[in-house]
Structure 1
């Protein structure tokens, strides 16, 4: 089984609502399992995972005040996050930067393959919650938007 086939299968699992996938070919067998997230009871899109802090304590808003909308970008898979395209290149995005949907935010390296993470919505980067070179889990919050 070649790396392109494995990457295709990982991408298919990430893009689907499946929790588990198994594939066999030419004597090889690959089983991919998505870890259960604390908020799986109410399934959220991959890029909007509540932060651990917001799960620990309930927030209360005044009845006539709308709560602030924060969009979080989560890692679609386990790997090493890179906040710049090359060691000597500038970072993809920085705090305070306005981005549009489709803007590259970071790259996750998994099994020597690089997976680009892009913004799904327009917004302003309010926090970068990981460091370049850090190992991240699937579903881990990477970047927060305001």
Structure 2
């Protein structure tokens, strides 16, 4: 089972409303718990270990990033974050020979296509649900993105 199949499984479980799914095959064991069990509302793979091996100790948590200055935080509070609705690969252009959908400073309207996310060989147009001005693109072109990962900051004013 490769990472794309696992991501697809996570997406399916999150949409199904199930709180926990366990999958055991010949060489792999996966447990997926959705937000129904934890307050964060996130879907997480808890274990992925080859059968017959003891699970490894959990890795130490990454240190929290240094707190940003309060002035900068209050500036970004007024922006709307557009997040990825699916797991996949983020593309700023409809194809390599075409221009990007949006640039920083562009004014967008509700329903405007902002990017494309490829998931399982399908290209999904991601449309804006808000009107405003693109302040920041948070993901590099051709980068993998997770469900609910911030993609753009938009100034609605």
TM range (shorter): 0.5 to 0.7
Report deviation, 1:129: 1.0
- Counterpart check, 1:87 vs 2:96: yes
Q: Is the 8 A contact 1:19 1:35 kept in 2?
A: no
1:131, distance to aligned residue in structure 2 (A): 1.4
Deviations 1:93-118 (A, max 9, x none): 00000000000000110110111111
Which structure 2 residues correspond to residues 70-109 of structure 1 after superposition, within 5 A?
70-109=79-118
- Higher RCO (C-alpha under 8 Å, 6+ residues apart): 1
Deviation >3 Å, runs of 4+: 18-22, 32-36, 38-41, 56-60
What is the root-mean-square deviation in Å for CA atoms of aligned residues?
3.9
Matched position secondary structure for 2:97: coil
Structure 2 matches for 1:1-146, cutoff 5 A? Answer: 13=15, 18=17, 40=40, 59=70, 69-146=78-155
Report the Cα offset of residue 92 of structure 1.
0.4
Q: Which runs of 5+ in 1 are unaligned?
A: 1-5, 23-31, 42-51, 61-66
Aligned residues: 111
Once residues 82 and 111 of structure 2 are traced to their aligned partners in structure 1, the CA distance between those partners, rounded to angstroms, is 12
Secondary structure at the aligned position of 2:126 is classed as strand
TM-score relative to the length of structure 1: 0.59
- The 1:130/1:58 distance shift into structure 2, 3 A limit, reads same
Larger Rg: 2
What is the TM-score when the length of structure 2 is the normalising length? 0.55
| Alignment partners' CA distance in 2, 1:132 and 1:145 | 18
> Matched residue of 1:72: which SS?
strand
Q: 1:91 to 1:34 in 2, by over 3 A?
A: farther
TM-fit CA distance, 1:76: 1.0
